[in-house]
Chain A
Amino acid sequence: MKTPNDEAKTRTRRAFTTMGVGALAGYGGWAWLRSRSPRAPEGGVEWPLRGVLRGNEKVAQVYFSHDHLAPTFHVSQVDPARKNGDVGLGDDFEPQQWVLNVQPYGGGQPNQVTMAQIRALPRFEQVTQLNCIEGWTVVQRWVGARLADFTAKYAPNSTRARYVGMQTPDQAYFVGLDMPSALHPQTLLCYEMNGADLTSDHGYPLRLVIPVKYGVKNIKRIGNITYTDSRPEDYWANEGYDWYAGL
């Protein structure tokens, strides 16, 4: 007859073997995951991780709504401005010669839009957070035109596009946006910040303010806007960050 001691030995051997195999399988899965290479178009991170970021994007879009507004604040709560990135803000830039190049959906004639035309659009002011992907946040006061209004006026029919791409005039910095986020009521083509015209550091003459995205999507010194069905390249997504970067 089996004694309790024998039974204990058998069960212990079996259980530790199972655990060892499980640990090896877990480690194998981890080693497999971390050895996958990135796949085009977005680099910087193993393709299964990128795949899940894409899946997370789809989940987020189910809940996303133009009625879900980023929190707004009182003017007295505005923080000192904080400058992080200067890619695309090179010195070889003539503000006087600046125009916004707009490529409507479907490949029609590009439009050129002036600052005066953008200022003529309904003016919106909002005091919202700029959430840096690094984890800090500053409350800022922004003034500008809604990208939705701009699109309706200067790129009619372009809201059917899936994406909006934006680049700096020198094309050194570029972002991609999904159309629902681009048309969110708090998404502004911004020309005033904290009660004054934008400074060069913050993207004079025109920048994007999009509180439903991390700071990296709030491109400064916009040179051109493209409405397209193909997912626009994104500077930080190429470095391994989430393309969607939605908040």
Chain B
Amino acid sequence: MPRLEEKHPLAIRWFHWISFPLLSIMIWSGILIYWANDIYRVGWGDTTLFHFFPDGFYNALNIPQRLAEGMALHFFFMWLFVANGVLYVLYLALTGEWRKVLPDRQSFRDAILVTLHDLHLRKQPPPQGLYNGAQRIAYTAVILMAIGSVITGLAVYKPAQLSWLARLLGGYPMARWEHFWLMMGFVGFFVVHVQQVIRAGWDNFRSMVAGYSLIPSKEANLENSK
């Protein structure tokens, strides 16, 4: 007989699915703000390989001329974003769930195996558990990036009253640059995350909604006989 295995507690699932629209709104409203001074690029000297962002991108997403709206939204939803994040971290800390998320000594070695496996350079699947090494590193990095976004965001928001913080981050323009690249990091995470969820399949996706994993009978029997 197949059996159900509890995978994600209810609270984790709520935190996960609430953070998704909140982070999306923070990124989108942030781009509405960034548009007004869109100075970042990949390049050197007079050579620009890529400018953030091309006009086609702005126009396709209806970004231009919405600075005031972007700021009002950003400074509204920041409270919800921070509240959700603080509760999530507290939950991890108080329930001991953090043990499943933070990388351990094995994680960095495992993460290399995961990467090799995913790039089809290594056949043998890496050790999985609830989260494999690469997942632990990625999910912990996202938490750190969120904390970094709040800190750099505060320095951009109040560079005079919090001038000590802006100075610590290298000054106001630097804090704004850091805030931007943390956002890009979230976008990069999102792309890889969605791709990996698709690869992992239905049972894995369902577990982030319904909480359980369905272990097929063969494996279940095998584990029972151990």
Contacts and interface: CB of A to CB of B under 8 A. Distances in A.
A201 B74 CA distance: 32
B36 interface: yes
Interface in B1-43: 1-4, 17, 21, 33-34, 36-37, 39
Contacts of A45: 68-69, 72
Nearest to A46: B72
Nearest to B13: A15
B166 A15 contact: no
Interface stretch (A6-14, A90-98, A113-121, A190-198): A6-14
B127 interface: no
A71 B3 contact: no
B135 to A, nearest CB: 21
A26 B21 contact: yes
Interface stretch (B89-97, B98-106, B141-149, B210-218): B210-218
Interface stretch (A56-64, A141-149, A164-172, A221-229): A56-64
A50 B68 CA distance: 11
Nearest to B167: A71
Contacts of B209: 12, 15-16, 19
A136 to B, nearest CB: 5
A239 interface: yes
For B17, B160, B172, B212, the residue with the greatest tally of chain A CB atoms inside 10 Å of its CB is B160
Contacts of A136: 37, 39
Interface residues of B, number: 39
A135 B36 contact: yes
A13 B213 CA distance: 14
Interface in A49-70: 49-50, 52-53, 56, 60, 63-65, 68-70
Given A211-B160, A247-B160, A133 B17 contact: no
What DSSP secondary structure best describes chain B's contact surface? Answer: helix
Nearest to B73: A49
A22 interface: yes
Given A4-B1, A7-B4, A53-B72, A131 B159 contact: yes
Interface residues of A, number: 47
Nearest to A247: B160
Contact of B37 (A15, A19, A49, A135): A135
Nearest to A181: B160
A221 B88 CA distance: 51
A110 interface: no
Contacts of A242: 71-72, 75
Given A56-B75, A211-B160, A212-B160, A133 B67 contact: yes
For B72, B75, B206, the residue with the greatest tally of chain A CB atoms inside 10 Å of its CB is B72
Given A8-B214, A19-B209, A71-B163, A137 B172 contact: yes
A178 B185 CA distance: 38
Contacts of A211: 160
Contacts of B4: 4, 7-8, 11
Contacts of B162: 68
B72 A247 contact: no
Contacts of A4: 1-4, 214
Interface in B176-211: 176, 206, 209-211
Contact of B72 (A5, A19, A50, A134): A50
Contact of A240 (B17, B69, B166, B206): B69
B36 A134 contact: yes
B172 A131 contact: yes
Contact of A64 (B67, B68, B161): B161
Contact of A5 (B2, B33, B161, B167): B2
Closest 4 CB pairs of A and B: A135-B37, A240-B68, A15-B210, A70-B160
Given A4-B2, A8-B4, A131-B159, 5 more contacts: A46-B72, A68-B163, A133-B71, A136-B39, A247-B157
13 contacts: A4-B2, A11-B211, A45-B69, A45-B72, A71-B163, A71-B167, A129-B159, A134-B67, A240-B69, A240-B72, A241-B68, A247-B158, A247-B161
